[in-house]
Amino acid sequence: MSCFADADPPIALGALDGRYRPVVAPLVDHLSEAALNRMRVHVEVEWLIHLTDYDVVPGVRHLTDEEQKQLREVVTTFGVDEVAELAAIERETVHDVKAVEYFLKRRLQQVAPAPQDRGLSEMVHFACTSEDVNNLSYSLMVRGAVREVWLPRATALVDQVVAMAHEQRDTPMLAHTHGQPATPTTLGKELAVLASRLRRQLRRVAGAEYLGKLNGATGTFGAHVAAVPDADWPAISRSFVEHLGLTWNPLTTQIESHDWQAELYADLARFNRVLHNLCTDVWSYISMGYFAQVRGQGSVGSSTMPHKVNPIRFENAEANLEVSNALFDVLGVTLVQSRLQRDLTDSSMQRNIGSAFGHSLLAIDNAGRGLAGLDAVPTVMAADLDANWEVLGEAVQSAMRACAAQGVEGMENPYERLKDLTRGRRITQGDLREFVVGLGLPDGVAARLSAMTPQSYVGLAPQLVGYLDPED
């Protein structure tokens, strides 16, 4: 027998509504079941106002400005009491959207109680199928969650990475390709690569299109035309959808096809994947000693090893990014499928949108907190560079190739000669300079190569960070 299932208040089943609730709480206003019902009420109110404002149904009077104001206040004041009332109605209707219709009719009776206005109540949910209300509600909800919560948090994180890239633009660092020492770079340039990739995905997410439809049970305006044959229903539908700030979709089955959701979730998942790459790279740099976790690290790193400060922020972010992507991926794959004119798989699937956003938001928060606790350690990076003089073999053989192309004698087989010198063994500064001096290079080239160090062999890495700046 469970001692938790009937707890009051309820004990959260999932982590997002449990230990991580403070981080993801802003999403509740956009992607919770309560937010869905509030948005349904919003759509129903706006549809009622639209029908009466445009004299769509002959003989139905306009709502006064005060009546419209009171109806819109039903949305702005929608809270826990209204959630409970709707739940009670739904227990009778066993249908969530029908419950919203009955809820709004109650409110309309309070706003316009005169006997001659009773016909107004039949304009609530007029000619609509549930999906007319739901698809518009989800478009508005997701748009709000992206623009008001996710995008500002994600943008702040990317700005944090951009700032770090500029700060570390000149800090030389040994690169590692395939896990092996490779041509040096700078820490700032490597962070700039990740920041640029993340920014690209932010631009795609910011430019997302949110579609909506209102065309009846199978997308034909059948009931609309049967009820009011002289109305220009496509124009009425379009003006209403665009009034909500959405893009009108005229060609649908019973459902709006959700393709825009799949497109958006693919972009969000791609952002997550790039962020995952950042987390694993930074985790690796921490393990190599290139970053020290010192700021704001008053927490326990290990329950038994006092010296440890574990990179838990980045590990937590990785895990939540993987959960988020699993959800975004299944949403994208599933929502674009519907049997014939309608099935209800999308109804259950869309109730997971909040979780997908929540795990992404939690990862963004953890990654930001992790980055804020890091200090670069240039001395460790410098020691790694000084232990790997062989990485200058690339520079020497490339200079030899250029000299050979210009007719300088004795420059044959440059790659093979440097391979013999460097592959599979460490060389010192003295070894390399002795080799360079013995090549017979032109004086200027020999001097340039002899003066080069692993720390200075970073090419244009510092300047490349400047490409993060919009003016560049």
Q: What is the CATH number of the domain that holds 373?
A: 1.20.200.10
Across 5-9, 45-49, 129-133, 409-413, least confident range: 5-9
Provide the mean pLDDT of the chain.
Answer: 93
393 lies in the same domain as 261: no
pLDDT of residue 468: 94
User: Which residues, other chains included, contact 208 with Cβ-Cβ below 8 Å and sequence gap of 6+?
Assistant: 143, 146, 260, 263, 264, 267
199 lies in the same domain as 284: yes
- 237 flagged as catalytic: no
136 lies in the same domain as 116: no
> Considering the domain boundaries, does residue 371 fall inside one?
yes
110 lies in the same domain as 173: no
Which residue, chain included where needed, has tokens 């809820």?
103
pLDDT of residue 417: 86
Q: Identify the residue with better confidence: 422 or 153.
A: 153
> Considering the domain boundaries, does residue 258 fall inside one?
yes
3-state secondary structure of 58: coil
**φ, ψ for residue 291, nearest 5 deg:** -120, 145
pLDDT band of residue 298 (cuts 50, 70, 90) is low
pLDDT band of residue 369 (cuts 50, 70, 90) is very high
203 lies in the same domain as 275: yes
Degrees, nearest 5: CA angle 184-272-297: 70
* DSSP assignments along 290-324, one per residue: SEEE-TT--S-S-SS-TT----HHHHHHHHHHHHH
172 lies in the same domain as 194: yes
Q: What is the per-residue pLDDT across 62-76, written as a single tens digit (0 to 9) for each? A: 999 999 999 999 999
How large is the average pLDDT for residues 354-380? Answer: 97
Last residue of a domain, one of 378, 402, 425: 378
119 lies in the same domain as 135: no
Last residue of a domain, one of 352, 378, 404: 378
Last residue of a domain, one of 93, 127, 161: 127
- 224 flagged as catalytic: no
Cα dihedral angle (240, 242, 245, 247), rounded to 10 degrees?
Answer: 130
Asked if the model's pLDDT at residue 297 lies above 70, the reply is: no
pLDDT of residue 299: 56
Alpha carbons 249 and 176: distance in angstroms, whole number = 49
> Considering the domain boundaries, does residue 2 fall inside one?
no
Cα dihedral angle (102, 106, 109, 115), rounded to 10 degrees?
Answer: 60
3-state secondary structure of 408: coil
Range of the domain at 370: 131-378
pLDDT of residue 472: 39
How many angstroms from the chain centroid is the CA of residue 205?
Answer: 7
94 lies in the same domain as 153: no
Q: What is the per-residue pLDDT across 221-230, written as a single tens digit (0 to 9) for each? A: 999 999 999 9
| Count of structural domains within the chain | 3
- Options 178, 299, 303, 307, the catalytic residue: 178
200 lies in the same domain as 301: yes
pLDDT over 90, % of the chain: 80
User: Residue 409 is part of a domain; what is its CATH number?
Assistant: 1.10.40.30
48 lies in the same domain as 135: no
218 lies in the same domain as 149: yes
> Considering the domain boundaries, does residue 11 fall inside one?
no
How large is the average pLDDT for residues 146-150? Answer: 98
- Options 239, 287, 302, 456, the catalytic residue: 302
Alpha carbons 126 and 51: distance in angstroms, whole number = 9
214 lies in the same domain as 72: no
User: Residue 71 is part of a domain; what is its CATH number?
Assistant: 1.10.275.10
Asked if the model's pLDDT at residue 149 lies above 90, the reply is: yes
Which residue, chain included where needed, has tokens 């109806």?
71
> Considering the domain boundaries, does residue 372 fall inside one?
yes
How large is the average pLDDT for residues 153-157? Answer: 98
Q: Identify the residue with better confidence: 2 or 92.
A: 92
> Considering the domain boundaries, does residue 430 fall inside one?
yes
pLDDT over 70, % of the chain: 96
> Considering the domain boundaries, does residue 63 fall inside one?
yes
pLDDT band of residue 101 (cuts 50, 70, 90) is very high
Q: What is the per-residue pLDDT across 422-466, written as a single tens digit (0 to 9) for each? A: 888 888 898 889 888 888 889 999 999 999 999 999 999 999 999
